[in-house]
Amino acid sequence: MKQTLTLIAHRGYSASYPENTLIAYQAAYDFGARFVELDIQLSSDLVPILHHDLSLKRMTGIDSSICTTTSEQLTHYKASYPKTFGNKFSDNTFTTLKQFCQWLQQHRDVTTFIEIKQESIDHFGIEAVINAIYHEIDTSNVQAQAVVISYNKSIIEIMRKRHHLQIGWVLPALDKKASNSLEQLKPDFAFCDIDFLKNGDEKLWQGQWKWAIYNADDVKTVIAMANRGITLIETNEIGILIQDKKLAGLL
């Protein structure tokens, strides 16, 4: 291994707690994670909410769009993932980006990758999304802890040029077109779906960026990725992997 391996808690400790909520991030932190990833969608009143899907169904059991739901309405819904966890987290609530940034203020050793979802960009437009998200980062003074990532190259370019944030591009594919785009964009991080590497011999292009892979949830896969020189690996199983003795010398 050429460098120390870093595990990123994908949506917090999402295998054991409701993803994209504070309890998942606190659990990940308690297990030793210092790099985390989250997703952002906007409510209808332009409040950034930690949430992955456009629909609220997986999070709440209610089949409606987060982009047409007010932040006040969301306070009455439970962020419990009932299909996955049953009633175990029936008192859990949604987490706003403001609340998460306040948590970051208390955990200055944490770096967070903030993924801006395309659904909110499509619904509200790039400027509205940028303004809403950066406002929370700026007023909480957590710029140094934030890396903005997205499939959307335009929004991360603006975040870098206008607000001087670190950025990461989530690659839509591992092909020549993506290679050219990556070279032009020159992000700080390049995020790659592990499924793009299933043949085992795909070449990861070298540049000023650092490669991050999502998601690896078992020790064998993590070691295989590390052997390919990938030092940033997202996982849903942060609590299990970070304690595994086989990885102890790499972390």
* Residue pLDDT, tens place only, 88-118: 999 999 999 999 999 999 999 999 999 999 9
Pairing of strands 111-116, 6-10: unpaired
Residue 148 has pLDDT above 70, yes or no: yes
Token reading at 33: 């994670």
Give residue-wise pLDDT tens across range 165-189.
999 999 999 999 999 999 999 999 9
Q: Is 225 helix (H, G, I), strand (E, B) or coil?
A: helix
Spatial CB neighbours of 195, under 8 Å, sequence gap ≥ 6 = none
Taking the C-alpha atoms of residue 185 and residue 199, their distance in angstroms, rounded to an integer, is 26
45 near 17, Cβ under 8 Å? no
What share of the chain in percent tops pLDDT 90? Answer: 93
154 near 127, Cβ under 8 Å? no
50 near 97, Cβ under 8 Å? yes
Token reading at 189: 């991080």
Distance of CA 3 to the CA centre of its chain: 22
72 versus 203: the higher-pLDDT residue is 72
236 near 217, Cβ under 8 Å? yes
Question: Where is 211: in which H helix or E strand?
Answer: strand 210-214
- Residue 250 pLDDT class (50, 70, 90 cuts): confident
Residue 1 has pLDDT above 70, yes or no: no
- Residue 248 pLDDT class (50, 70, 90 cuts): confident
Angle at CA of residue 19, ends 248 and 40, nearest 5°? 115
